Each structure stands twice: as C-alpha cells, then as structure tokens.
Chain A
Amino acid sequence: GQQVMQIPQYQHVQEGEDFTTYCNSSTTLSNIQWYKQRPGGHPVFLIQLVKSGEVKKQKRLTFQFGEAKKNSSLHITATQTTDVGTYFCAGDGNTGKLIFGQGTTLQVKP
C-alpha cells in the first residue's frame, strides 16, 4: 500500500542553526500537508501544498513540494526554542485519506 517515509526521525540542533525534514512517498500524491505536534500536545495543521514544484513560506519556515509530487521538505531557518516538537508530513494519494509520515522530532538547545 501507499507509504510515506520521513527522515530524519530525530534532530538535535543548537538554537540559531537551520533544520530540514524530508518526506518521500511511494506513490504520486495529489497534495501534501504538514503538521506540528508540540510535546504533550496534538498535531496542528501548518500548510498544504498542491502544485508540482510549489514553494510556500511562513516566516522562517519554507515548504517545498517536489516536481514529481512524490516528495516534500520543510526547512526552518535559524531555529528557536519555540520550534521544538514533532513535524509530520501527510500525503493524500487521491484516496481522500491522509497517510502520515513517522514524523521528525526536533530538539533545540538554547
């Protein structure tokens, strides 16, 4: 069945360093969503990408959707302690159901 793989599983960075998480699907996606889950919390929607090659920015966060619509990335510039949490990508392969990646847990050392 459809799989969405996310790497790395964990990332520890010094505050101010950049961070990137990558998401790869076994099949072409109609769109991809990104969520953030703070420690002890629940996932919160960040953004959705729909078009091939699409790039969207939210302040220090940059989201990309690959040309083949099978991969995506989230890049955070100059991390802050408020960026701590687990970032999930979730893809829809035209089934109407989201398939979530395993998540990347980001730790930021002040």
Chain B
Amino acid sequence: DGGITQSPKYLFRKEGQNVTLSCEQNLNHDAMYWYRQDPGQGLRLIYYSQIVNDFQKGDIAEGYSVSREKKESFPLTVTSAQKNPTAFYLCASSMRAGQTYEQYFGPGTRLTVT
C-alpha cells in the first residue's frame, strides 16, 4: 500500500523547544516538500529536496531545518527560532523535481506551541 505518512497527527510543545515532524514515503519519489498551511493563506513552501543529501530553502525557511539522508524520509525540525510555529504542516512528494509532477500529500501534522 503506497503512500506518504506523517506523524504524529497532533503535536503540542512548549515555547522554546525544538520539535521534529516525521515524513515518510514509499512511492519511490525523488522529490519531497514541506509546506505550512495557515488559515486563509494557502500553502507556503518551507523546504524541498530533489534528491538524497540535497535540499533547498523555500519561501519561509527561517526557523526550520531539514535533512534528507534517505530517499524515503524528509524530517522537518521546527526550532525555537521560528516566531509563529503553531500551524498545520504538510509533507508532499512527487516523482521528480525540475518538471512539474503532481504532488502527493501526507495527512499533515497540526502543531500547537504554547
């Protein structure tokens, strides 16, 4: 059963703590993406990776970090430097980057920081 998974679905953290969101795919996709969704603002790109051991900043990368050590995995760390971390985080993958392929989204992680 191919797909993209994110865990956990809900995450609560205290201000000042780093937190890592998991994203795994078994679609054999080269490209993976992290988006942030806030009400009324659509999806904003945080980071993306076209290939293992390589990633690029998106439009709102400040306060976030990623790694891509395996093709299947693209974890996102929300650091204490992110000023407004409470949001819905979506991970996506596509067959390849460079051209526009449809993106497959995971179920998302809703992060609340208080």
Interface residues, chain A, CB within 8 Å of chain B?
Answer: 1, 6, 9, 30-31, 33, 41-45, 48, 88, 90, 92, 96-98, 100-103
Contact = CB atoms under 8 A, between A and B. Distances in A.
B40 A102 contact: yes
Task: State the 10 A-B residue pairs at the shortest beta-carbon distance, nearest first.
Answer: A92-B100, A45-B102, A42-B105, A100-B43, A102-B42, A100-B42, A96-B98, A43-B105, A96-B97, A103-B42
Main secondary structure of the interface of B (DSSP, over half): loop
Given A97-B48, A102-B42, A103-B42, A45 B103 contact: yes
Q: Which of A9, A41, A88, A100 has the most CB of B within 10 A?
A: A100
Contacts, number: 49
A31 B64 CA distance: 29
A108 to B, nearest CB: 20
B100 A102 contact: no
Nearest to B50: A96
Q: Which of B35, B90, B97, B100 has the most CB of A within 10 A?
A: B100
Contacts of B107: 41-42
Contacts of B50: 96
Contacts of A98: 45, 100, 103
Interface in B58-114: 58-59, 90, 92, 97-100, 102-108
Q: Which of A42, A45, A97 has the most CB of B within 10 A?
A: A42
Contacts of A6: 42
Q: Which of B45, B97, B102, B108 has the most CB of A within 10 A?
A: B102
